[in-house]
Amino acid sequence: MYVAVKGGERAIAAAHQLLAEERRGDPAVPELSIAQIEQQMSLAVDRVMSEGALYDRDLAALAIKQARGDLVEAIFLIRAYRTTLPRLGYTLPIDTGRMAMRRRISATFKDVPGGQVLGPTFDYTHRLLDFTLAAEGANVSPPQQPSINNPAPIPPMPRVTDILAAEGILAPEVDIDAGDTIADLTREPLAFPADRDARLQALARADEGFLLGLGYSTQRGYGRSHPFAGEIRMGAVSVEIQPEELPFPIDIGEVELTECQMINQFKGTAETPPQFTRGYGLAFCQGERKAMAMALVDRSLRAAELGETADSPAQDAEFVLCHCDNLEASGFVQHLKLPHYVDFQAELGTLRTLRAERREAAE
């Protein structure tokens, strides 16, 4: 005799128990500390902060630990936590022109004020497995000279784009007036057509892999936009608030950012002469791949406003913005494993009827 399944509750509890055991792994192996993740898995922490849209290294590290290293899951944990936080106020716009930089490169000029600074980059490493790292505990690398180990940040330098803009050859960015409200997708739903502020916010929170693929597609001819990496800079900027009762802003701390400004050709219109235009990318800490991909996609999405033909996926704002969030995508793809007995039963019935009708017709 069939009995309606009972015990969903017990099954869930057991699954959670198993998950906890899997997460810990072999108890004979020492447990990871949050500090270890934060320090030694720092790029994972950076990505979780960017796409989780919360600048908190410890929480991001905790999320990574809890998610067993699944970064999309960790981003989810951070987002679900973030959404419950009270909104205390809004900071002033950060000024990346005043960044204390640890890395700064431009592909457009051989030298720029402040120079080219590689900083901590994988760029010129040979991707050979370093087996010395497998010798845990044994510190095999000789101690570095302090100056290399921790070089002083480069003092604030003008951005390459500022130099070009001063010449008038780079289209100026639209200033947002003090009175304008800036879109906030965490409060108001996305609506189309989406303005650039909303688009940039969505892209900043977007899945790195999705943007990477889309950005790549623009380089391969799907909405070609002739980009040059005008400047990539990484470093710390001050975060300030302007209390109503004070005549000056208050510095409340600093965040580390990677900013990428792509420079793209633009043929001009009847009103505007040919000039360069910008694609903008920004990520927390060292999110360089993300920032670059974001800048490519941002520029692609400007096709319509610049009067360019927009027929490639990366130029289609609805397509890009509706599918770039990994929480939404991951949830909806994976919801297919939830029970669909009822729908399936309904479909089954229809299909059987149609097949029976065809059989009858054939007889």
Q: Which residues bind other proteins (CB under 8 A)?
A: 1-2, 4-9, 11-12, 16, 66, 76-77, 79-80, 82-84, 86, 186-193, 269-271, 318, 322, 327-328, 330-335, 338-343, 345-350, 353-354, 357
What's the Cα-to-Cα distance from 317 to each of 193, 195, 288, 325, rounded to whole Å? Answer: 8, 10, 23, 13
Nearer to other proteins, 173 or 184 (CB): 184
CB of 326 to other proteins, least distance (A): 10
Cα separation, 205 vs 186, in Å, equals 10
Nearer to other proteins, 138 or 342 (CB): 342
Task: Of 120, 158, 148, give the one whose Cα is nearest residue 234.
Answer: 120
Nearer to other proteins, 76 or 284 (CB): 76
CB of 42 to other proteins, least distance (A): 23
* DSSP string for 120-149: S-STT------GGGGS-S---SPPPPHHHH
CB of 77 to other proteins, least distance (A): 7
Helix %, strand %, coil % of the chain (to 5): 45, 15, 45
Nearer to other proteins, 288 or 325 (CB): 325
The owner of tokens 């070009």 is: 164
Helix (H, G, I), strand (E, B) or coil at 100: strand
CB of 2 to other proteins, least distance (A): 6
Q: How many CB atoms lie within 10 A of CB 43?
A: 13
Nearer to other proteins, 68 or 98 (CB): 68
Strands 275-284 and 250-266: antiparallel
Give 230's contacts (C-beta < 8 A, 6+ positions apart): 106, 107, 108, 160, 161, 164, 261, 262, 263, 278
CB of 214 to other proteins, least distance (A): 17
Nearer to other proteins, 179 or 189 (CB): 189
Nearer to other proteins, 66 or 116 (CB): 66
Nearer to other proteins, 36 or 345 (CB): 345
Per the CB < 8 A criterion, the answer to whether 176 and 254 are in contact is no
CB of 83 to other proteins, least distance (A): 4
What's the Cα-to-Cα distance from 163 to each of 99, 110, 112, 166, 182, rounded to whole Å? Answer: 16, 14, 10, 5, 27
Q: Name the token pair of 293.
A: 């991909």
CB of 17 to other proteins, least distance (A): 13
CB of 26 to other proteins, least distance (A): 22
Q: Name the token pair of 218.
A: 């623009």
Nearer to other proteins, 140 or 354 (CB): 354
Any idea what the Cα angle at residue 27 is, between residues 24 and 32, rounded to 5°? Answer: 55
Backbone φ, ψ for residue 132 (5° rounding): -65, -25
CB of 170 to other proteins, least distance (A): 22
